[in-house]
Amino acid sequence: MKILITGGAGFIGSNLAEKLSSQAEIFIVDDLSMGKKENLRNVDNVVFYEESVLNKDFMKRLLNRENFDYIFHLAAVASVADSVKRPQETHEVNFMSTLIILEILRKMSNRNLKKFVFSSSAAVYGDDKILPKKENSNIQPLSPYAIDKFASEKYVLTYNNLYDIPTTAVRFFNVFGPNQNPTSPYSGVISIILDKFKKNLNGEMTKFSLFGDGKQTRDFIYIDDVINALWIVAISDSTFGKTFNVGTGNETSINDILIIISKFLKMELNIERMEERDGDIRNSVADINELEKLGFVCSYTIETGLKNYLMKLK
């Protein structure tokens, strides 16, 4: 079995590659603009291309030569804030690359492809106040990132209806776990918090900048659960042309995250209180009924996920 993971050196892609490498031949296309090769240190059986997904000729040759069984399209400018600063570049990567791959697939005469899985985001829901967010809730993309994710999603699903290309899309909520780069200002809040704790443990006095009152909530899902969800959605026969939330169904505030980690590490973090971040969503939580109908069971709570993550950091 051959599997292509675009963005395979990034946070989610590298964890997916690690999980699938025992059962398949893994091919990764990543230009290392955000990902890191060292994220793949535990992955055997991988063919790595340092290449952009926007290189049409390269992608065409690769897809035609390898005729993949599964494609996970994870390459993206992975940050809402980054997309606000660089809308045009974001559009190229987050939208055009999807269309390039879909067009190559459409024109292939003999496809082995069983599923093309597109990674979308809970950002497409914007700040809709009705919770939990269901796949058919209001869509209010508020940033270039969210607009491109939603447009890509629509293309991906429409290619299933129009051209019979086996596609599906997932909307990630707040994913956390190993390999999320904490040094990027656009990184997820949990990796930033853990990085600050680590620095403090090493005697470096740093402060965590908390935007707003800390009562804002998110649906934090541990990476291992996300990888399981991705594989379930990929192999299921009832996901063609459909979108699935990938979350836990539980809400946790940033204040609670700080309390849980302080308890584990027996240490308080210095907090610098800042103005609420522009465009920040107040509350977010997923309805995961559709995913559960496919057989998904969430294995980690926020506590066990954080514990596992901390153990891997040591």
Residues that bind ligand UD1 (CB under 6 A): 78-80, 121-123, 174, 186-189, 192, 209-211, 216, 218, 254, 277, 280-281, 284
CB 30 within 8 A of CB 16: no
The smaller minimum CB distance to ligand UD1, of residues 26 and 122, is found at 122
CB of 257 to ligand UD1, least distance (A): 9
CB of 289 to ligand UD1, least distance (A): 19
CB of 151 to ligand UD1, least distance (A): 15
Coil, strand, or helix at residue 78? coil
CB of 171 to ligand UD1, least distance (A): 8
CB 306 within 8 A of CB 244: no
Note if 145 is an active site residue: yes
72, 76, 78, 80: CA torsion to nearest 10: -120
Q: Angle at Cα 77 formed by Cα 71 and Cα 79, nearest 5°?
A: 120
In whole angstroms, how far apart are CA 174 and each of 51, 171, 221, 232? 27, 10, 6, 19
The smaller minimum CB distance to ligand UD1, of residues 168 and 174, is found at 174
The smaller minimum CB distance to ligand UD1, of residues 164 and 280, is found at 280
Token pair of 103, please? 């067009």
CB of 216 to ligand UD1, least distance (A): 4
Please tell me which residue in 145, 155, 159, 222 is annotated as part of the active site.
Answer: 145
- Residue 236 CB neighbours (<10 A): 18
CB of 209 to ligand UD1, least distance (A): 5
The smaller minimum CB distance to ligand UD1, of residues 35 and 166, is found at 35
| Beta strands at 25-30 and 243-246: parallel, antiparallel or unpaired | unpaired
The smaller minimum CB distance to ligand UD1, of residues 55 and 187, is found at 187
128: left (phi over 0), alpha (psi -120 to 50) or beta: beta
Coil, strand, or helix at residue 210? strand
The smaller minimum CB distance to ligand UD1, of residues 68 and 72, is found at 72
**Rounded to whole angstroms, how far apart are CA atoms 218 and 249?**
10
**Rounded to whole angstroms, how far apart are CA atoms 139 and 253?**
23
DSSP H helices, 164-282, are 189-201, 223-235, 254-265
Active site residues: 145
